[in-house]
Amino acid sequence: MVMVGESGHILIRDAEGEISQSKVPVDLLLTALHFVDSQQGWAVGHDGVILHSADAGRTWTKQLDGSQISPLLLERAQAEVARLEEASSAALHDEDMTAALDNAYFALDDAKASAASGPSRPLLDVWFRNVNEGWAVGAYGMIVHTKDGGRNWDYASALVNPDRLHLNTVLGLPDGTLLVAGEGGNLYRSEDDGAHWLPAQQLSQASLYKLMQLADGRLIAFGFGGTLLSSQDQGKTWKSIKTPASIGLYGGRQLVDGSLVLSGQGGVLLYSRDAEHFRLWQGTEIGSFMGIEQINGGLLGLAGNSGLKIISLDTVKEQLQ
């Protein structure tokens, strides 16, 4: 298990259960990580930081931070203003063009303010298709993309998010579909690895924190207030699934037997055999479980406010409500 958290903590739990701190070049809050294989992984966090490990998480190097992201934002905002000013000069009475130009001016002012204030935009999730290509998303509509394993990153400007809503989670599918979800229940979908994006879908009023794909190809999205949705057509359409508790859902894992466990606020787990009907397990923790992993078949590792908690899967099943 590899876990990220506060103050630059990246912890590794080995096969014998021993936990050690990795060598990490930052002391910031780290929010998410993704491994493409047993060795290559990326972690993201506050101040726009992106870290990379090539040795299964034992050591990490910094690839990007907010001081490098700000010039990317500023360059993109300046180019967009120039493009729209030229276009609007040929369409003086086009209200949509005027609105787009106003949004572009606002984005430029925002980019200038961000550059002046230093690195301050948290990244909240990261996903890589392979060892070369990946995306990271975060607060205020931040989305960056790399094609060379993170040696160089570009701001992914094709995603239309004029209100700069937070982007909380990113997930790619085997067919090249790329999904991003976040604040206000919005889902952004691209069918060509982010080159072009379809208009945003608002799946719910509640913010979405996580996207997952199950072994049978189904997608699930979950988040604030027990919000849970599923899709069977690569994210084109979604249906709501009833949950037994209106608590924030933050992490999830499909177990080796195909059952699904979601972790969330107040030490709660939701368990389902079919990803349709869920039962509740209430722990003694007062904090939240942000992530979950299956260990050696019969154990669950739960990471959250109180660190790492190891619990028997049989115990969870016996105490389901």
DSSP secondary structure string for all residues of 246-308: ---EEEEEE-TTS-EEEEEGGGEEEEESSSSS-EEEE-S-SS-EEEEEEETTTEEEEEETTEE
What is the model's pLDDT at position 111?
67
Look at strands 30-35 and 19-21 and give their pairing: unpaired
Select the more confidently predicted residue: 96 or 160: 160
pLDDT at 74: 72
Q: Is 219 left (phi over 0), alpha (psi -120 to 50) or beta?
A: beta
What DSSP character marks residue 218? -
User: Can you give the pTM of this predicted structure?
Assistant: 0.87
Q: What per-residue confidence (pLDDT) applies to 210?
A: 98
Of 124 and 105, the structure prediction assigns the larger pLDDT to 124
Half-sphere exposure of 126 (CA within 13 A, CB side): 33
Kindly list the strands in the beta sheet with 268-272, ordered across the sheet, starting from the edge strand earlier in the chain.
Answer: 249-254, 260-264, 268-272, 279-282
- Average of per-residue pLDDT values in the chain: 90
Task: For residues 255-284, give the mean pLDDT.
Answer: 94
Q: Could you tell me what percentage of the chain is helix, strand and coil, using 3-state DSSP and rounding each to the nearest 5?
A: 20, 40, 40
Instruction: Kindly provide the b/e burial profile for residues 282-310, where b requires at least 16 CB atoms within 10 angstroms of the residue's own CB.
Output: ebeeeebbbbbbbeeeeebbbbbeeebbe
pLDDT of amino acid 116: 62
Mean pLDDT of 274-302: 91
